[in-house]
Structure 1
Amino acid sequence: MCPGAFSKCLGISLLPLSVVCVLCNILLFFPGGTPVDSKLLSEEVWYFGGILGSGVLMLFPALVFLGLKNNDCCGCCGNASCGRRFAMLSSILFAGVGVLGAAYSVGVSVLAITRGPFCMKKDSKEWTYPLENSEYVFNPASWKQCVEPVDVVHWNLTLFLVLLAMGLIQSVLCAVQVVNGLVGALCGDCRGCCPEAQATA
């Protein structure tokens, strides 16, 4: 497969992942599926890992990758393919932006999963992080320490795990584009650049 066409496949893959991440982050504002006071949300929800990191920042590389296949900037210094080579090289920068965005989302997710949700503790009725520094992920019985919001542990854990998985996949896809961009910049695209340039070559 040509580097430009492969980049388009990567861009197509990144778009739905970004949408899923944004939706997951939005759902985190409604723990247990119910609206609560903003002061009762976990801090990590306000870091917008899914909206900013794996969402908005990921749109830039996704759109750039999609446009590489149709890039017609060809013909410079007598070389019909140098425009495509430069476009593939520049895509590496956007892939780097994507990796940073995904890494931010992954970091926020890991922090949120490790810390556990902000909730009302069963015994003291205080709002705190009762599951912090514990292995609650592998001990569902401990989830009963959070009484409000209802099912907040299951809700937060599921959504942050999805964000973690999506962020890791996005990182891999952007890293693949770094390699693909280098190949396209060094070897050129296997497709012709533009008929006019080929005819005069």
Structure 2
Amino acid sequence: MCSGSFAKCLGVSLIPLAIVCVLCNILLFFPGGTTVEKEQITEQVWYFGGILGSGVLMIFPALVFLGLKNNDCCGCCGNESCGKRFAMLSSILFAAVGVVGAGYSVIVSAVAINGGPQCGIKNGTVISWTYPFENGNYLTNSSMWPVCIEPSGVVSWHLSLFSVLLVMGLIQIALCAVQVINGLLGCLCGDCCGCCGGSDGSV
């Protein structure tokens, strides 16, 4: 398979992952599926890890990867003037942008999972909004979750969505890392070495 075709496959894979991350980040603004006050939303949600990191920043490398296949294949092998090698080299830079964006989302998600959600707990006769969990202690002890009275189901909501962001971010990092290797091979060996047998594209 030509490195340009392989890059296109990676680009196609990155787009739905980016969309999922954006949707997860948006849903996190509605803890437990309900509307709360701005200051009652967990702090890490406002870092926009899924929207900016794994979302917007991931669109750029995805579009670049998709566009690599649009270049003329035949006659490009060993011919740097056609720009194919430069295109593969530039894809490495955009892949690095994707790694940075996804890495940011992974870090934000990991911190949010470790710290737990902000929620309403009963303090005497009133409900106080705070972060009742520390250092991920609630992850292995689900009996602590009922301490969050409001919103209902906020702990599982928080944990599920940030876990999805974490996993999606790791997958995006892996795909971008693969493109770095693919881009290097395309830059060094040419994008379509099997297309050089003739001007009609035969091998």
* TM-score (structure 1 length as normaliser): 0.90
The aligned residue for residue 135 of structure 1 is 137
CA deviation digits over 1:31-55, x for unaligned, max 9? 1111111111000010000000000
Is contact 1:65-1:91 (8 Å) kept? yes
The aligned residue for residue 173 of structure 1 is 175
Q: Which runs of 5+ in 1 are unaligned?
A: none
Instruction: Compute the displacement of 1:79 (Å).
Output: 2.4
The aligned residue for residue 113 of structure 1 is 113
* TM-score (structure 2 length as normaliser): 0.89
Query: Counterpart of 1:121 in 2: which secondary structure?
Result: strand
Query: Counterpart of 1:138 in 2: which secondary structure?
Result: coil
Instruction: Compute the displacement of 1:121 (Å).
Output: 1.9
Instruction: Report the residue type matching 1:137 in the other structure.
Output: L
Query: Counterpart of 2:149 in 1: which secondary structure?
Result: strand
Deviates more, 1:116-125 or 1:99-108: 116-125
Instruction: Compute the displacement of 1:72 (Å).
Output: 3.7
Aligned pairs, number = 198
Instruction: Compute the displacement of 1:104 (Å).
Output: 0.3
CA deviation digits over 1:95-151, x for unaligned, max 9? 000000000000000010000001112345321100122421121110011111111
RMSD: 2.5
The aligned residue for residue 50 of structure 1 is 50
Instruction: Compute the displacement of 1:80 (Å).
Output: 6.2
Query: Counterpart of 1:112 in 2: which secondary structure?
Result: helix
Q: Indicate how the Cα distance of structure 1 residues 114 and 134 shifts in structure 2: closer, same or farther if over 3 A, else same.
A: closer
Q: Which runs of 5+ in 2 are unaligned?
A: none
Rounded Cα–Cα distance in structure 1 between residues aligned with 2:5 and 2:188: 16
The aligned residue for residue 83 of structure 2 is 83
Is contact 1:81-1:193 (8 Å) kept? no
Query: Counterpart of 1:127 in 2: which secondary structure?
Result: strand
The aligned residue for residue 36 of structure 2 is 36
Is contact 2:31-2:158 (8 Å) kept? yes
Instruction: Compute the displacement of 1:172 (Å).
Output: 0.2
Q: Percent identity?
A: 69
Rounded Cα–Cα distance in structure 2 between residues aligned with 1:74 and 1:101: 34
CA deviation digits over 1:144-184, x for unaligned, max 9? 11111111101010000000000000000000000000000
Query: Counterpart of 1:137 in 2: which secondary structure?
Result: coil
